[in-house]
């Protein structure tokens, strides 16, 4: 009988539902590391985020499914990278929510929504104060760094706002509806210069860490906004803070930061031209449904011996 272990635990109701749905599979949940290491010894698959200790203990492991879209955590699990274990992720579950979140941040800046919210709380009717600073998105240039599923959904929305959409991807053959051109890494500097709004949706890999550094930030228009919704450390945070403080960049919407939770002494908390959310851009009722549907389909495929969806390149990190 196949055994599937949920790392980090699973409530008994959910395990019961899975056992009814897949009667030929033994499902187990483990809430403590000690329980996990005991249960994983004879597990064929694990759902969650393993450590090297899990990989070494799991002598029968053939498949691991991590629900997140990013797999940058794999750099901390070299035993998994070296192994023959197949890793799948939640790619495709989060694009809609993250793209919506990206544009929520952009619109908060262009339509002065934070300022109007503050006035509402103060019971101030202040249209004349903020109206001169309000902007339209049509004909503005949206630059996208990373044209995967998330970047593609951001592009769709940009096209819907009649923006000019240009993307940079490490795979220059990447495509998405609404994208006018896709450039390779050699033209990232050009993208920094022309973007009115720059969305960072690339995965965090050794190649993308620090990709948006002080030199590249200095290429951006002082009227531009940067929106980061994939992973921290792709943008050099100290350089970004300096650009925002000195007025060399109009604003930034950050759902991800270099350190999470964001330290309380970070200047980002108090900068007036920053919108912060706590790495929640991918959250939605629909995201949970898609994630569960993906897991169930891969469970069905694993049981049937079929190819799995969303197989990751462990060496590349995505």
pLDDT in tens, 286-318: 999 999 999 999 999 999 999 999 999 999 899
317 falls within a domain? no
- Least Cα distance to 224 among 207, 200, 201, 204 occurs for 200
Measured CA to CA, the distance from residue 135 to residue 110 in angstroms comes to: 5
For the whole model, what pTM was predicted? 0.94
Q: Phi, psi at residue 12, to the nearest 5°? A: -65, -30
318 falls within a domain? no
Do 108 and 210 reside in the same domain of the chain? yes
Residue 6 binned pLDDT confidence (cut-offs 50, 70, 90): very high
Which residues are catalytic, by number? 231, 260, 279
Per-residue pLDDT at 37: 96
CB under 8 Å to 186, separation ≥6 — which residues?
none
Residue 128 binned pLDDT confidence (cut-offs 50, 70, 90): confident
Check if the beta carbon of residue 284 is closer than 8 Å to that of residue 97.
Answer: yes
Do 241 and 115 reside in the same domain of the chain? yes
**Residue span of the structural domain in which 261 resides:** 95-276
315 falls within a domain? no
- Least Cα distance to 110 among 274, 201, 225, 239 occurs for 225
Is the pLDDT at 188 greater than 90, yes or no?
yes
Do 102 and 202 reside in the same domain of the chain? yes
Taking CA 316 as the corner, what is the angle to CA 260 and CA 88, rounded to the nearest 5 degrees?
75
Do 102 and 203 reside in the same domain of the chain? yes
Total tally of structural domains belonging to the chain: 2
309 falls within a domain? no
The residue-averaged pLDDT of 53-81 equals 96
Bridge partners of 3, per DSSP, are 26
Per-residue pLDDT at 171: 87
Is the pLDDT at 211 greater than 80, yes or no?
yes
Pairing type for strands 2-7 and 25-30 reads parallel
Do 258 and 116 reside in the same domain of the chain? yes
51 falls within a domain? yes
Do 158 and 253 reside in the same domain of the chain? yes
Do 59 and 124 reside in the same domain of the chain? no
Residue 248: both structure tokens together: 């060399």
- Of 131-135, 169-173, 246-250, the poorest mean pLDDT is in 169-173
Report the Cα 138 to chain-centroid distance in Å: 26
Q: What percent of the chain has pLDDT over 70?
A: 100
Residue 316: both structure tokens together: 């590349």
Do 16 and 85 reside in the same domain of the chain? yes
User: How many CB atoms within 10 Å of residue 193?
Assistant: 14
Measured CA to CA, the distance from residue 236 to residue 6 in angstroms comes to: 35
13 falls within a domain? yes
Do 81 and 125 reside in the same domain of the chain? no
117 falls within a domain? yes
Measured CA to CA, the distance from residue 251 to residue 196 in angstroms comes to: 11
């Amino acid at each position: 009988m196949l055994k599937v272990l949920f790392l980090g635990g699973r409530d008994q109701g959910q395990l019961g539902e899975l056992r009814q749905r897949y009667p030929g599979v033994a499902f187990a949940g483990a809430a403590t590391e000690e329980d996990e290491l005991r249960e994983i010894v004879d597990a064929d698959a694990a759902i969650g985020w393993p450590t090297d200790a899990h990989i070494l203990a799991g002598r029968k492991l053939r498949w691991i499914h991590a629900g997140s879209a990013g797999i940058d955590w794999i750099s901390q699990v070299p035993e998994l990278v070296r192994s023959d274990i197949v890793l799948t992720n939640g790619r495709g579950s989060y694009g809609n929510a993250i793209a919506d979140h990206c544009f929520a941040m952009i619109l908060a800046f262009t339509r002065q929504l934070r300022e109007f919210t503050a006035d509402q709380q103060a019971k101030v009717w202040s249209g004349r104060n903020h109206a001169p600073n309000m902007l339209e998105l049509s004909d503005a240039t949206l630059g996208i760094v990373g044209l995967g599923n998330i970047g593609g959904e951001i592009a769709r929305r940009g096209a819907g706002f009649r923006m000019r959409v240009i993307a940079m991807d490490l795979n220059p053959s990447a495509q998405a509806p609404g994208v006018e051109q896709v450039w390779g890494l050699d033209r990232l500097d050009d993208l920094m210069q022309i973007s009115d709004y720059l969305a960072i949706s690339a995965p965090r890999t050794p190649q993308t860490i620090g990709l948006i550094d002080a030199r590249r930030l200095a290429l951006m228009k002082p009227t531009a906004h940067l929106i980061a919704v994939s992973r921290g450390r792709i943008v050099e945070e100290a350089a970004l803070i300096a650009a925002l403080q000195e007025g060399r960049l109009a604003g930034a919407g950050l759902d991800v930061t270099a350190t999470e939770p964001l330290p309380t002494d970070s200047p980002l908390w108090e900068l007036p031209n920053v919108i912060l959310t706590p790495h929640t851009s991918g959250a939605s009722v629909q995201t949970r449904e898609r994630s569960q549907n993906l897991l169930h389909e891969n469970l069905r495929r694993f049981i049937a011996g079929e190819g799995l969806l969303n197989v990751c390149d462990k060496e590349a990190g995505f």
